[in-house]
Amino acid sequence: MTRTIGIIGAGQLGLMIAQAAAELGARTICLDPSADAPAFKVCDEHIVAPFDDIAALEELCGRSDVVTYEFENVPGDILRSLTERYNIKQGIGSLIDSQDRLREKSRAVESGLRCARFADIADRETLKTKAAEFGYSCILKSRRLGYDGHGQAVIRSIDDLADAERLLSVPCILEEFVRFDYEASVICVGDEKNGYIHFPVGRNVHSGGILDLCIVPAPEMSDDLRRRMVEKSEEFMRRNRYRGILAIEYFVAGDDFFFNEMAPRPHNSGHYTIEGCTTDQYRELCRYLLDMPLEEPQLKATTVMKNILGQDLAAAETIAAESRDDVYVHLYGKSESLPKRKMGHITFVGLDGRGYDEVWRDKFVKQN
């Protein structure tokens, strides 16, 4: 009997989840407020409705055998009531925790992960006191709904406090600035009962606050550091009984690493897995949702994933038309191209970071 996966959200992640589900013989139904959402082009059915439309969510769940979500800002309180009556196999523990940076980092520390110092900030006096305590530089962030550099302010000196205070209209968190060498991410799939699989650890390169490149395996990372990072990530999931998929971003400083943030969904830094590994993050999430055994991924070759933003779309379309071997162009089919909007990605299999710089870097617009 064919099973149906309900997906809350129909952006590019929903698109790739739906494609992976189809390859496994499953149907998909997506819910999204945008009538032209990318995943609507490939899913079997869709519902156009806001994410907080309880009746629409009930309809989605009622028409699905199992339900997932493609981004972490789905209203957690609404989903809480639905988990009691429908099969939301991942649960909402990791979702709720990831929606609040203070709660998220507190969970990490309680689970034995290192974090930069952080503090709950509700007013100007607390901000001033904690910024002096942490020293400059530090970063003020909104506790909820921030992404890609939005909802945050870097405080490099006491003179920056006045500008940062504008964020205090909402609850905020202050984080000590960590001097790190690079960022890396670990993506795990599974649960505490059946264990976890993980994907090769990549090195993330940001530009203008948005992920630009992911290079896999992470250059200059020792096997021991990679092993400890994966073990700590799986332990974090196990201790908190997180289920399904979880991506964790870390700051790497020498032979040590610090928890930065997490996402309970497929992650931008894991797009490379589609062609770069023997199985990918979308397929393994679907296998988990469909009660199928998970497959431990193996890296096929050194791989670079390049995010395509609006200003790079023309270059990406030119590369796609060239049909090059081991160069895989994914365009998400979004109706409107904006300068910093994620429009697609390109995966270069068999290429390392240096090779990318030498051959491809100048093809794209550098972010500020």
Any idea what the CATH number is for the domain that residue 145 is in?
3.30.1490.20
| Same domain, yes or no: 48 and 28 | yes
Of the candidates 129, 157, 176, which is a domain's last residue? 176
| Same domain, yes or no: 12 and 26 | yes
What is the model's pLDDT at position 72?
80
Contact 200, 277 (CB under 8 A): yes
CA angle 110–93–277, rounded 5-degree value: 90
Total-model pTM = 0.94
What is the model's pLDDT at position 121?
96
| Same domain, yes or no: 10 and 140 | no
HSE, CB side, 13 Å, CA atoms: give it for residue 192. 9
Residue 341 lies in a domain: yes
Helix boundaries (H) for 3-112: 12-23, 54-62, 76-83, 93-98, 101-110
Contact 141, 209 (CB under 8 A): no
CA–CA gap between residue 15 and residue 36 (Å, rounded): 12
β-pair type (303-309, 210-216): antiparallel
pLDDT tens-digit series, residues 14-51: 999 999 999 999 999 999 999 999 999 999 999 999 99
Is a pLDDT exceeding 90 seen at residue 75? Answer: no
CA–CA gap between residue 78 and residue 88 (Å, rounded): 12
Q: Which residues neighbour 77 within 8 Å (Cβ) at sequence distance 6 or greater?
A: none
Residue 325 lies in a domain: yes
| Same domain, yes or no: 231 and 320 | yes
| Same domain, yes or no: 193 and 75 | no
Residue 99 lies in a domain: no
* Phi, then psi, of 202 in degrees rounded to 5: -110, 160
CA–CA gap between residue 310 and residue 210 (Å, rounded): 13
| Same domain, yes or no: 189 and 288 | yes
Question: Domain limits at 81?
Answer: 4-88
pLDDT tens-digit series, residues 237-283: 999 999 999 999 999 999 999 999 999 999 999 999 999 999 999 99
β-pair type (182-191, 244-253): antiparallel
Contact 318, 341 (CB under 8 A): no
pLDDT tens-digit series, residues 305-364: 999 999 999 999 999 999 999 999 999 999 889 888 999 999 999 999 999 999 999 999
Into how many domains does the chain fold? 3
Which stretches of 244-311 are assigned E, i.e. beta strand?
244-253, 256-263, 303-309
| Same domain, yes or no: 164 and 191 | no
| Same domain, yes or no: 170 and 204 | no
What is the model's pLDDT at position 43?
98
Distances (CA, A) of 63 to 56, 60, 121: 11, 5, 42
Distances (CA, A) of 355 to 200, 302, 303, 350: 20, 11, 10, 9
Residue 188 lies in a domain: yes
Of the candidates 130, 150, 176, which is a domain's last residue? 176
Is a pLDDT exceeding 80 seen at residue 366? Answer: no
Residue 64 lies in a domain: yes
Is a pLDDT exceeding 90 seen at residue 148? Answer: no
| Same domain, yes or no: 56 and 152 | no
Distances (CA, A) of 279 to 15, 90, 199, 287: 17, 20, 9, 11
| Same domain, yes or no: 165 and 248 | no
User: What CATH number is given to the structural domain containing 47?
Assistant: 3.40.50.20
* Phi, then psi, of 289 in degrees rounded to 5: -65, -30
Residue 191 lies in a domain: yes
Q: Which of 275, 364, 349 is nearest to 316 (CA)?
A: 364
CA–CA gap between residue 283 and residue 269 (Å, rounded): 15
HSE, CB side, 13 Å, CA atoms: give it for residue 152. 22
